[in-house]
Amino acid sequence: MNVAIIKYNAGNIRSVDNALQRIGIHATITNDLTALQQADKVIFPGVGEAATTFQHLQAHGLDTCIKELKQPVLGICLGMQLMCAHSEEGDTAGLSIFDVEVKRFISQVKSDKIPHIGWNQLHDLKGPLFKGIEEDAFVYFVHSFYVPCNTYSSANATYIHPFCAALQKDNFYATQFHPEKSGDIGERILKNFIEL
């Protein structure tokens, strides 16, 4: 199994690699376009700021490469947000794999802390990424921006209001939460992706 993790100017790449090693997968961390095209599975992780990150992808040809991949691709956190059409973070365009907008969380009451950090429950689960995962399973989030619930949603969650926790379209999968930080549930989700 040839698994590639996209190397770019984002955090959490090593934690994704470590999580894959825990389930017996040794991934290649690369920004080589040919290596990404030839991989069996591609993971697009991300912790960072949307606008500068998208500019980095464009400067290295990764924007076009990612959109044209035919094998299963998993975007995580910022990776998911950059797979969308537009983000309010830095007023930046995205890859437009998912025709949805990324919005900024806005506090409604004093107790609403932004970013949304910590464990939260998933609901409305569907699709192969969540095989064997029960409704209301807890996963770990860290984000100040969110994707509204939409027709591509394969899982939702609620913080301040309902939002999309995972997306799926064709060979593209994405999670707003961090499976690499989500314990046994996260490992199961990563295994489900590897087994697609």
- Name the residues annotated as catalytic: 77, 178, 180
Cβ atoms of 196 and 29 within 8 Å: the answer is no
Quick one: 64 exposed, middle or buried, by C-beta within 10 A (0-12, 13-18, 19+)? Answer: exposed
Closest CA to 27 of 44, 10, 11: 44
Cβ atoms of 66 and 37 within 8 Å: the answer is no
Conformation bin of residue 56: beta by default, left when phi > 0, alpha when psi is -120 to 50: alpha
Quick one: 4 exposed, middle or buried, by C-beta within 10 A (0-12, 13-18, 19+)? Answer: buried
3-state SS class at 65: helix
| Angle (nearest 5°) at CA 168 between 101 and 16 | 95
